[in-house]
Amino acid sequence: MILDAKAALAELPKWERGFHIFWLIGPFILLIERSPADFWISLLALTFVIRSVVKGDGAWLKPFWVRAGFAFWIWCMIAGAVSDFPAYSVGEAIVWFRFPLFAMATAFWLARDKRLLYAMLISTALGLVVMCGILTAEIMIVGQQGGRLSWPYGDLVPGNYVAKVGLPAFTIMVALAVSINGRVAALSGILALFSMAISVMTGERINLLIRACGGMLAGLVWKPNWRRYIGLVIVEASCWQVSHDLHCQRG
């Protein structure tokens, strides 16, 4: 897949190649801090808009979900304009739209080639493993702070990265672990279990719930081995119970 990604990048125009590489290293930029991550999302979203205008490409505006996104954005700005703080509210609504716009850029530009999509999934998986390694180091060196972890950001929400940035890679790992045989299934299962244990240690129960439900759904829809799937449900239910018990002890 790495060789396929290199071939796909080589086929792109030079100026687009740089932006696609920048997109592929996004999971590692998200590990640094929120300002670089925000710059990453905003730059790619803005570049997508400029590229569409320059090339006269408006085909991406036709899908219903895109139009619905723009309609919701307009409604947010109208609601903000009649609020008690119109300047602030409208400004926030304008800035917020970079997130759905980034999703549109990914769907209609950056990830149109499956080879690059697979490369991004590998990048996401590697970023997840790195984050789990960072949090493991925190547990061993300083331990939890009030039942929570804080590396590498300095605040108590690293579980956001594990649960949300790493979710696509995690669900694929779970699907492979419960559906195929061999080393890939074993490795996928080990990494998924390791990341679930880290989610428990972060102390962020909502993020743990997101991963548990996502994992069970992914395992169910991709031709599961039912014995393994039942084992998956037991493991994830156990993780939730441990997290609940730890939360009760802290309370």
The residues pairing with 148 across neighbouring beta strands, listed in sequence order, are 145
Q: Which of 36, 34, 6 is nearest to 21 (CA)?
A: 6
Q: How far apart are CA 198 and CA 160, in angstroms?
A: 12
| Helix/strand/coil percentages in the chain, nearest 5 | 80, 0, 20
Q: What is the pLDDT of residues 4-61, one digit of tens each?
A: 999 999 999 999 999 999 999 999 999 998 889 999 999 999 999 999 999 999 999 9
Confidence of residue 251 (pLDDT cuts 50, 70, 90): low
Q: What is the pLDDT of residues 67-126, one digit of tens each?
A: 999 999 999 999 999 999 999 999 999 999 999 999 999 999 999 999 999 999 999 999
Residue type for position 239: C
CB under 8 A, 24+ apart: contacts of 17-20: 19/44, 19/47, 19/110, 20/110, 20/116
Residue 167 near residue 214, CB atoms below 8 Å: yes
Residue 1 near residue 122, CB atoms below 8 Å: yes
Confidence of residue 244 (pLDDT cuts 50, 70, 90): confident
**What is the rounded average pLDDT of the residues 204-233?**
93
Q: Which of 30, 41, 250 is nearest to 158 (CA)?
A: 30
User: Encoding tokens for residue 207?
Assistant: 């993020």
**What is the rounded average pLDDT of the residues 198-209?**
93
Q: What is the pLDDT of residues 163-184, one digit of tens each?
A: 999 999 999 999 999 999 999 9
**231 burial type by CB count under 10 A (0-12 exposed, 13-18 middle, 19+ buried):** middle
Q: Which of 50, 95, 104 is nearest to 76 (CA)?
A: 95
For residue 147, pLDDT beyond 90? no
Q: Identify the sign of the CA torsion 162, 163, 167, 171.
A: positive
The residues pairing with 145 across neighbouring beta strands, listed in sequence order, are 148
